[in-house]
């Protein structure tokens, strides 16, 4: 704990791991190395209205420069780690220099999946992952412009809400039969489709994009049914892939992510990993790779404890959130394999309800739209594997706290 710990990736996980190392008692140097020229910043605001608002990068920094200085953390920006030399216990930077480490943390995150169609040099086709991406979108997102968003997941829908609020004409194209198909029940998908259409978004499901036409700049998006959509800007939100190249290059085990145990350890006892890049075990759901700020921060704390010789398992309930228009969706748990859905409130009317996912009578997940009380209790119910009568969950005439208390007796 007196040598240098090198953290690769100035992400949510990397920023948290660096500070947590100091809090856990690491006495040696700490280096946080990031490819972007900025200090670590919050990514969720990028799709939730930041690029059409008046905030600056400083407004979304996770911590300012003084905070890192006070913890004696050397933040190295604008530098890429090209390789890891495990035998020599050093990382090799893109300029050829080496940086030795006693311990190494990989917080490399994920990269956007790119479209296999259209010319690669179209200047108004964007992806949304970094601050630089947003800076480019800002220049094109002027009032009245026609925006076509490819992908009806959370990023696509959040971006649609933000652009619509800024006065753009917005079309969302989703190839699946419904939006959010991988992560929500049909009733929740239908709710979001209704709300977006009520807000003036042209939302089209079952729409496969076949081409993006234009030279220099895109002007038309075509779909498999022959529809041609005029576009002043195109934003693709078709998912991300874990960045595992460094891990694979030095022989660490990967499987849709860098494989780690419940203490964030890789196969190498001197290397941990945390965040979107990891595949890790969950006592509730088995092996997981999560794209979540909450997971990145909590796993980073576990990794810091591990590096300091303490074993503190990463076993919390996954949770997520999404802001669209006046809706705050808060999600507790994962609904994979549910056999029963209980709806509390009416998703076909109004803008507030909760969907509870049960398997064999036990709550495994909950989607709570403008229902903070249900969300807070749902996290506990999922962690405990609580069994509750679906009819009681659906009874919106009673306070949710009372329903839970009765089920505990």
Q: Read off the CATH number of the domain in which 340 is found.
A: 3.30.390.30
Q: How many residues does the chain have?
A: 409
CB 231 within 8 A of CB 103: no
* 254: in domain: yes
Asked whether residue 147 falls in the same domain as residue 106, the answer is no
pLDDT at 47: 87
- What's the CATH number where 271 sits? 3.50.50.60
Asked whether residue 76 falls in the same domain as residue 137, the answer is no
pLDDT at 54: 67
Asked whether residue 213 falls in the same domain as residue 294, the answer is no
* 389: in domain: yes
Asked whether residue 341 falls in the same domain as residue 268, the answer is no
CB 85 within 8 A of CB 250: yes
* 118: in domain: no
Boundary of a domain, candidates 209, 236, 263: 236
* Tokens standing for residue 152: 């009806």
For residues 113-117, average pLDDT: 92
Question: What total of structural domains would you count in the chain?
Answer: 3
* Tokens standing for residue 106: 């990989």
* 342: in domain: yes
Percent of the chain with pLDDT over 90: 91
* 168: in domain: yes
* 347: in domain: yes
Boundary of a domain, candidates 236, 261, 292: 236
* pLDDT greater than 70 at residue 188: yes
Task: Write down the H helix ranges in 99-208.
Answer: 131-140, 154-165, 186-198
For residues 320-349, average pLDDT: 96
CB 178 within 8 A of CB 190: yes
For residues 235-242, average pLDDT: 95
* pLDDT greater than 80 at residue 325: yes
Query: Using the 8-state DSSP alphabet, how is residue 406 labeled?
Result: H
Asked whether residue 210 falls in the same domain as residue 140, the answer is yes
CB 329 within 8 A of CB 380: no
Residue 292 CA to its chain's centroid (Å): 4
Distance separating alpha carbons of residues 272 and 235, to the nearest angstrom: 34
CB 34 within 8 A of CB 14: yes
pLDDT at 1: 73
Strand partners, 254: 258
Asked whether residue 382 falls in the same domain as residue 292, the answer is no
Distance separating alpha carbons of residues 117 and 397, to the nearest angstrom: 51
Q: How confident is the model at residue 98 (pLDDT cuts 50, 70, 90)?
A: very high
Distance separating alpha carbons of residues 94 and 300, to the nearest angstrom: 25
Q: What is the largest CA-CA distance in the chain?
A: 67
Asked whether residue 226 falls in the same domain as residue 269, the answer is no
User: Three-state SS for 402?
Assistant: helix
How many other CB atoms are found less than 10 A from the CB of residue 215?
9
Percent of the chain with pLDDT over 70: 99
CB 187 within 8 A of CB 347: yes
- For residue 342, give its domain range: 326-408
pLDDT at 228: 97
DSSP 312-331: ----PPPEEEEEETTEEEEE
Q: Give pTM, 2 decimals.
A: 0.94
* Tokens standing for residue 274: 């945390």
Residue 407 CA to its chain's centroid (Å): 33
pLDDT at 120: 86
* Tokens standing for residue 96: 């050829």
Strand pairing class (233-236; 125-127)? parallel
* Tokens standing for residue 145: 């412009």
CA nearest neighbour of 62 among 53, 75, 49: 75
* pLDDT greater than 60 at residue 409: no
User: Three-state SS for 239?
Assistant: coil
Asked whether residue 11 falls in the same domain as residue 106, the answer is yes
pLDDT at 119: 85
Asked whether residue 253 falls in the same domain as residue 230, the answer is no
The set of residues, in sequence order, having a beta carbon less than 8 Å from that of 236 and lying 6+ positions away, is 112, 114, 115, 125, 126, 127, 149, 150, 151
- pLDDT one-digit tens code per residue, 62-87: 999 999 999 999 999 999 999 999 99
Cα dihedral value 116, 117, 121, 126, nearest 10: -80
* 21: in domain: yes
CA atoms within 13 Å, Cβ hemisphere of 147: 32
Asked whether residue 291 falls in the same domain as residue 372, the answer is no
- pLDDT one-digit tens code per residue, 14-63: 999 999 999 999 999 999 999 999 999 999 988 887 767 767 889 999 99
Q: How confident is the model at residue 97 (pLDDT cuts 50, 70, 90)?
A: very high
Strand partners, 281: 287
pLDDT at 406: 85
Strand pairing class (327-333; 319-324)? antiparallel
For residues 207-234, average pLDDT: 96
- pLDDT one-digit tens code per residue, 127-165: 999 999 998 998 899 989 999 999 999 999 999 999 999
Boundary of a domain, candidates 211, 236, 261: 236
**From edge to edge, which strands make up the β-sheet containing 98-100?**
81-85, 90-93, 98-100
- pLDDT one-digit tens code per residue, 288-298: 999 999 999 99
Strand pairing class (98-100; 103-106)? unpaired
* 315: in domain: no
CB 321 within 8 A of CB 331: yes
Asked whether residue 195 falls in the same domain as residue 263, the answer is no
pLDDT at 407: 78
Q: How far is CA 209 from CA 50, 218, 222, in A?
A: 27, 14, 6
pLDDT at 174: 97
CB 345 within 8 A of CB 371: yes
Asked whether residue 267 falls in the same domain as residue 211, the answer is no
């Amino acid at each position: 704990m007196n040598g240098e710990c090198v953290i690769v990736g100035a992400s949510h996980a990397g920023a948290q791991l660096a500070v947590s190392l100091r809090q856990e008692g690491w006495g040696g140097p700490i280096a946080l190395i990031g490819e972007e020229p900025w200090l670590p910043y919050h990514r969720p605001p990028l799709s939730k209205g930041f690029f059409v608002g008046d905030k600056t990068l400083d407004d979304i920094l996770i911590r300012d420069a003084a905070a890192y200085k006070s913890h004696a953390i050397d933040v190295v920006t604008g530098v890429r780690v090209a390789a890891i030399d495990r035998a020599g216990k050093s990382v090799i930077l893109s300029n050829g220099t080496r940086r030795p480490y006693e311990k190494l943390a990989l917080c490399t995150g994920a990269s956007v999946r790119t479209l296999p169609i259209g010319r690669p040099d179209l200047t108004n086709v964007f992806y949304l992952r970094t601050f630089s991406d947003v800076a480019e979108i800002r220049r094109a997102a002027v009032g009245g412009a026609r925006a076509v968003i490819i992908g009806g997941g959370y990023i696509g829908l959040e971006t649609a809400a933000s652009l619509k609020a800024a006065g753009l004409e917005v079309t969302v194209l989703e190839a699946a039969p419904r939006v959010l198909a991988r992560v929500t029940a049909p009733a929740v998908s239908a709710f979001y489709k209704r709300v977006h259409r009520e807000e003036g978004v042209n939302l089209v499901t079952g729409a496969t994009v076949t081409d993006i036409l234009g030279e220099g700049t895109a002007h038309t998006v075509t779909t498999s049914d022959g529809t041609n959509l005029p576009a002043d800007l195109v934003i693709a939100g078709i998912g991300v892939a874990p960045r595992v190249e460094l891990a694979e290059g030095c022989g660490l085990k990967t499987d849709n992510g860098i494989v780690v145990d419940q203490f964030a350890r890789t196969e190498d006892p001197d290397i941990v990993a945390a965040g979107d890049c990891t595949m890790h075990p969950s006592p509730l759901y088995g092996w997981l790779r999560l794209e979540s700020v909450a997971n990145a921060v909590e796993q980073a704390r576990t990794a810091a404890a591990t590096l300091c010789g303490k074993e503190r398992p990463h076993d919390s309930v996954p949770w997520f959130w999404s802001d669209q228009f006046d809706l705050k969706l808060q999600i507790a748990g994962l609904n994979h394999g549910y056999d029963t859905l209980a709806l509390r409130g009416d998703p076909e009317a109004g803008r507030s309800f909760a969907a509870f996912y049960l398997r064999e009578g036990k709550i495994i997940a909950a989607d709570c739209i403008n229902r903070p009380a249900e969300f807070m209790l749902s996290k506990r119910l999922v962690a405990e594997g609580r069994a509750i009568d679906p009819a009681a969950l659906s009874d919106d005439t009673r306070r949710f706290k009372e329903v839970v208390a009765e089920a505990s007796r």
